[in-house]
Structure 1
Amino acid sequence: MAVLKLSGTLNSEPQGKSHPEAGSDSSLSFLHGTKLAYASNLVRDWHADLLHYQGLKPGSAKLHRDNLLRLLNHARVAPWELQKDHVTRYFESRVNQETGQMLAPATVGTYCAAWRGFQNYMLTAERVNELFSEFNVRPKAFVDDDNSIAVKRHKLNWVPKGWALTDLEIDAIDETFRSEIARAAREHSKSLLPLLRDRVMFHVGIHFALRISELTELRVSSFCASLDADLQHFGKWGVLTVTGKGDVTGSVPMRDPSVHGLIEWYTNSVRQKILLRRKSKTEDDGRREIKGQMVSVSDLMFPSERGGVVCPNGFRKRLADIAMKSGVLRRKLTPHTLRHTGCTLMVPLYSPEIAQKYMRHKHLHTTLYYYHPTPLGAANEVNSAAQLFDDEEED
């Protein structure tokens, strides 16, 4: 189901305008006097709560606030006067008048998440009592399962799109990498070093179940020796600590001697060549900005030929090209498939709960979506598929 384009609707304005996006205007000009003061302060305090107590990033907090303002500006009532009908009528107003197309369930879910968050904030006892004392109105819940039914149906019909590589497919892709590397060496091609690097990225992405941004921005200093006596033979590569989506940080142990050997070989024989042969500008100070932090190029695990972060799209194209040449895959191989594969290998080796920790997921059921056992092998694994859902957390 397509999402209505926001440009050209009542809820948007062309980029580059200095005034607020129409529909998310915070002036609440339809209110006056005490009502305006209470409403403005209530929205402002909730936004501050999102930022400073719930820890949302500024962009996410602003999106929640703007979505609430869209509902208020459409309903033209104070926040404590919102009713379920206001939600229904807002969604009806967003239906495409030409095609009859409604908002996608995921978009409806985004709106409802913001409104439900504000609803929970407003309906605390002290705020309800103050609003009733001042306006003789007791605020009620205006978002429930009935007026967000599209989200519920979407979840019931949701089918995971991810998939995982089998051992045979991993071996076939690695063999294709080797073949391409040998060809590049024979032809003295400039693609030799990038191919060597990308082959290591392929295996590291699977082994530690990394997201594409985590993989391309990986640092040497993110690795350290493990305190576990059983892992000390991996030396300084014993544990990888990574911060990813939502600024969640987690540590994943090295477990495969072959991956450890591959990293040792790469850092000793390939990585320094890429660094020393990089094409740098005269004013290059040997640092790059990554997510607001200045990082030394020499600390990048997988530097590009220009001494920066490897382009995610470049790595995607490399994977797709290697997968096509391998001839063993019927589906498109993407970097995120490596993360699914890593989780699928972790779950039977450790446990669903430990895999959740290493994947840095908030909910166990999210980790289980990344677990794709083979039909014949799942029943023989230490943690079979039937056991995995026994301890599933609520979303």
Structure 2
Amino acid sequence: MHPAIKSFKAYLKLERSFASNSIEAYGRDLEKLFQFAALQEDKLSPEKFTLAHLRGFIAWINELGMIPSSQARILSGVKAFYKYLLMEDLITNDPSELLETPKIQRKLPDTLSINDIDKMIGAIDVSTPEGTRNKAIIEVLYGCGLRVSELTELRISNVYREIEFVKVTGKGSKERLVPIGSEALKALKIWLEQVRVHIPVKRGEEDLVFLNRRGTRLSRVYVFTLVKQLAELTGLKKNVSPHTLRHSFATHLVEGGADLRAVQEMLGHESITTTEIYTHLDREYLKSTIIEFHPRN
């Protein structure tokens, strides 16, 4: 590995507290930049690149057939890399500063109606231990808007029933407090007090909320499979995943008049621009409502 990439990855880990998956993704993207540098006639290293070189790099990854969203992700890593080089005085000016990011058409995520979610929960057989746990999983995913990894890593010690909050660890190991509704709290209480207490727990997993029958943590794959099976059982034609429940959580809040900053906080978005997609969903909802119910339509 090139020393510049190695030191950049160390910076992301130690000073920015990035998750290991994010750091590896940055490393892979930067390797493409160094591959492009090796193909150049003048054999310049990326540290000596100009804006023209970087525009050539964009053209090169475009020729490789990468979609705009992949190009944008790579350029985000490249810009972060040059900011690091500037900060470390390894370069005197940042050639990526005026680099244009490819325009991305933001796809509105699929969402479920409250009725759809009620049907999914109603399809769970709560007479079995697994069913009791699975109901709690769906209630918490939708009731708190959690990512799958946040759900599988949820700790009993971070469930504050008295004040109706849960503490979750999101991307970049950032912690946040999220309100938990009465239905989710009720399903969670039944799972913890009536079923989980009878499971022999594997050492080291004692504090995890959700376990399988062997007493070990649930996998992400299991949660994805569960959500897809419930969607099929209820006849939903949409492409449903655990993230669909997170999108539905946010959409229903915005449609109900929730403040966008509050939704950002609950979702754990670093930037408000990520949360703003739900305002577009809300506009679509308002538009469809007007078309359906306005007498002049």
Q: CA deviation at 1:361?
A: 0.5
Aligned counterpart, 1:30:
none
Aligned counterpart, 1:268:
193
**Alignment partner of 1:313: what SS?**
helix
Under a length normalisation based on structure 2, what TM-score does the superposition of the two structures give? 0.79
8 A contact 2:152–2:217 mirrored in 1: yes
Aligned counterpart, 1:83:
50
Map 1:256-295 onto structure 2 (within 5 A). Answer: 256-273=181-198, 275-276=199-200, 286-287=202-203, 295=204
Aligned partners of 1:144 and 1:194: how far apart in 2?
Answer: 54
Aligned partners of 1:203 and 1:125: how far apart in 2?
Answer: 47
Change (3 A) 1:85 1:238: same
Under a length normalisation based on structure 1, what TM-score does the superposition of the two structures give? 0.61
Residue 233 (structure 2) aligned to one of 325, 330, 344: 325
Change (3 A) 1:351 1:127: same
**Alignment partner of 1:241: what SS?**
strand
Q: CA deviation at 1:217?
A: 2.3
Q: Does residue 1:176 correspond to 2:123, yes or no?
A: yes
Change (3 A) 1:317 1:125: closer
Aligned counterpart, 2:249:
342
Q: CA deviation at 1:252?
A: 0.9
8 A contact 2:132–2:190 mirrored in 1: no
8 A contact 1:68–1:114 mirrored in 2: no
Map 1:186-225 onto structure 2 (within 5 A). Answer: 192-224=128-160
Change (3 A) 1:88 1:243: same
Aligned counterpart, 2:95:
141
Question: Which structure's relative contact order is higher, taking Cα pairs within 8 Å and 6+ residues apart?
Answer: 2
List runs of 5+ in structure 2 lacking aligned partners. Answer: 291-297
Aligned counterpart, 1:158:
106
Residue 104 (structure 1) aligned to one of 54, 57, 67: 67
**Alignment partner of 1:270: what SS?**
helix
Aligned partners of 1:368 and 1:93: how far apart in 2?
Answer: 32
The one-letter code matched in structure 2 to 1:346 is L
Residue 310 (structure 1) aligned to one of 211, 218, 230: 218
Aligned counterpart, 2:82:
119
Change (3 A) 1:103 1:271: same
Aligned partners of 2:76 and 2:169: how far apart in 1?
Answer: 25
Change (3 A) 1:112 1:196: same
More helix by share: 2
Task: String of CA shifts for 1:189-226, please: whole Å, max 9, x gaps.
Answer: xxx211221011101111111111111222211112xx
Aligned partners of 2:287 and 2:194: how far apart in 1?
Answer: 38
The one-letter code matched in structure 2 to 1:73 is A
The one-letter code matched in structure 2 to 1:337 is T
Aligned partners of 2:260 and 2:188: how far apart in 1?
Answer: 27
Task: String of CA shifts for 1:240-293, please: whole Å, max 9, x gaps.
Answer: 011022212100123x333322222222212223x14x7xxxxxxx32xxxxxx
Aligned counterpart, 1:241:
167
Aligned partners of 2:111 and 2:96: how far apart in 1?
Answer: 41
Q: CA deviation at 1:330?
A: 2.2
Change (3 A) 1:311 1:363: same
**Alignment partner of 1:103: what SS?**
coil
Aligned partners of 1:326 and 1:217: how far apart in 2?
Answer: 28
Residue 299 (structure 1) aligned to one of 207, 214, 218: 207
8 A contact 2:34–2:45 mirrored in 1: no
Aligned counterpart, 1:73:
38
Larger Rg: 1
Change (3 A) 1:54 1:63: farther
8 A contact 1:47–1:65 mirrored in 2: no
8 A contact 1:200–1:266 mirrored in 2: yes
List runs of 5+ in structure 1 lacking aligned partners. Answer: 1-19, 21-25, 27-39, 130-138, 186-191, 225-233, 279-285, 288-294, 381-395
Aligned counterpart, 2:293:
none
**Alignment partner of 2:270: what SS?**
coil
Change (3 A) 1:55 1:261: closer
Aligned partners of 1:210 and 1:125: how far apart in 2?
Answer: 37
The one-letter code matched in structure 1 to 2:69 is A
8 A contact 1:80–1:140 mirrored in 2: no
Aligned partners of 2:88 and 2:136: how far apart in 1?
Answer: 56
